[in-house]
Amino acid sequence: MGKHERAWVEATERLTARLANGADPDEELVEAGRPDLAEALADRLRSDFPDATAVRHAGNSYDSLGDLIVETPDGETFVEAKFVASGGTRANLGQDTLTEFGLFEDATAWSDFREEIGFPEDREALLREFDGYPDDVRDWSYKSAVYDRAKHLKNVLDVSRGQNTGSRADEVLADPDATEKEREAARIVNAILELDREEKLAYFDHLREAEQNPRNVETFAHLIVCGYHTADALDEHFDDDLKDIKRLLETDSYRLYEVNRNSGAVSVENPSALLAGFEWEDTRVEIPDDGTSVSVVTGPPGNRRRVLNIAYNWKNKFQGIQTPSMNVFVPEA
């Protein structure tokens, strides 16, 4: 989260606490934050905790989970407030997250692994096979050359918004009326998709041989389920005592609230319910023999449970081209 965004978010959180307590709005907080979102969240907190005696802001300290703390006669509930542009509480993390946070202790980061096996060069060689690039994307000396060529191939294939590029390439190859230029673009796209898949499977072979740190795997899983979905947020809490995090969940003392920035709609997720019945034994990252996703699993052999699914993905253009990342989903996603 950038400095500017952190400032308005904190102002909105503080304003939420005042409104939930029935206090008059603070003009400085109104000016710095989003009073509409604060009012929506405060209304929901008053509805969800009708016996609340106070709502307070946790402050800038990261020594406990939650931005807001709701006090009731039965105790405290920690509330993590997230102001999101769209629905969903799933994480989109950096490509090297699992190695950066030590889930694998002696593994090469995904970004470095691709360099070591020559993936960028192999991808470029495939892109160079297309002979119909316009003059403005023929120069390989600038940083966006790969992206621009991939975009041009998509344009040749006429990939519609939201359509899977690989599926469109298959449609073109199956179309007897497709031009040779379209077929060549489709062939190259499919070759890059296959190259990407082979690289991911090779990386999974590498991860399979690496040592895992069960404590880090378990901490990562708990923080993701608790709504900490950025590298900064994970870093702020990764050294917290795992027992304290689990205690909050086990005593049903933690809630994740999401407020849509556009509509003001508020949704609530109870991480305790998501993890109900989990036995934290032999927690590890499970790596399949096929596919491009891994999973965090836990529990004894007779009761293995999947905690997270983690897909290795490229967000832009198509697989193998731009913005490698990891998409993370909790069990019910």
Q: What's the pLDDT score for residue 172? A: 96
pLDDT digits over 150-204, tens only?
Answer: 999 999 999 998 899 999 999 999 999 999 999 999 999 999 999 999 999 999 9
Residues 150 and 187 in one domain: yes
pTM over 0.85: no
Last residue of a domain, one of 193, 209, 225: 209
CB-CB contact of 80 with 194 (8 Å): no
Q: Residue 298: which domain range?
A: 88-107+211-238+276-332
Residues 216 and 293 in one domain: yes
| Cβ neighbours of residue 292 closer than 8 Å, sequence gap 6 or more | 197, 200, 201, 311, 312, 313
Q: What's the pLDDT score for residue 57? A: 92
Give the residue-averaged pLDDT of 289-294: 88
| Cβ neighbours of residue 162 closer than 8 Å, sequence gap 6 or more | none
Last residue of a domain, one of 209, 226, 260: 209
In a domain, 60, yes or no: no
pLDDT digits over 16-32, tens only?
Answer: 999 999 999 889 999 99
Residues 217 and 316 in one domain: yes
- Render 55-85 in DSSP notation, one character per residue: EEE-TT--SSS-SEEEEETTEEEEEEEEEES
In a domain, 124, yes or no: yes
* CA–CA dist 183, 129 (Å, integer): 12
CB-CB contact of 159 with 167 (8 Å): no
Last residue of a domain, one of 162, 192, 209: 209
Residues 100 and 225 in one domain: yes
Residues 178 and 312 in one domain: no
In a domain, 47, yes or no: no
CB-CB contact of 32 with 13 (8 Å): no
- Domain count along the chain: 2
The tokens describing 282, both together, are: 């032999």
Residues 218 and 328 in one domain: yes
Residues 199 and 221 in one domain: no
Residues 220 and 328 in one domain: yes
Q: What mean pLDDT value characterizes the chain?
A: 89
In a domain, 215, yes or no: yes
Residues 216 and 319 in one domain: yes
